Structure 1
Amino acid sequence: MLRNKSTDDLHKLWYVLLKERNALLTEQAECHTKNMVFPNPFRKSKVRKSMARIKLVLHERSNIYQHNLAASAPPSTEDDEDEVKA
């Protein structure tokens, strides 16, 4: 499902998850200082997994882009290098 999202949407979702992760860490720290049990600790792992999945999709896209960029570049020859040096 993430692969169907646009890059802009994935970046927006990444920052929403980042804010959620920071909120959860703040809540966990408050619970720790008040000697309370952190409710639903599995939420942190869900956010972490979601962020990792987004990062994977963006990394795949970057690799494909770099591969296509290299494939579309004209092959360099020794003549081209000599012209640049002159």
Structure 2
Amino acid sequence: MNIKDIKIKTCPFCDGEGEIIHSKLDDGYIYSEGVNAFVLCKKCGAAGPLFNAEYNHAHLGYPGRLEAITKAIKVAVKGWNRRDGSKAND
């Protein structure tokens, strides 16, 4: 997955550009049990929902962490892109 290929809607408050903020592959304590992601407006600072994806490093290692980060990003962008009248899983 290339983050540049993900379609992020503009901010629903100021029409600013959204930026994906997420855990990195080598951030923090390597054996942490979760990673997270959310979208932040570069203009006004509004943020979408924070999504935390859990994984077990002891069983899944770096590939599992990368998969969890990818999942967190996808769900966070869905939450940000949600607009009135739509469901987060549409």
Tell me whether the two structures share a fold, i.e. TM-score over 0.5. no
TM-score computed with the length of structure 1 as normaliser: 0.32
Please state which structure has a larger fraction of its residues in strand. Answer: 2
Please state which structure has a larger fraction of its residues in helix. Answer: 1
TM-score computed with the length of structure 2 as normaliser: 0.31
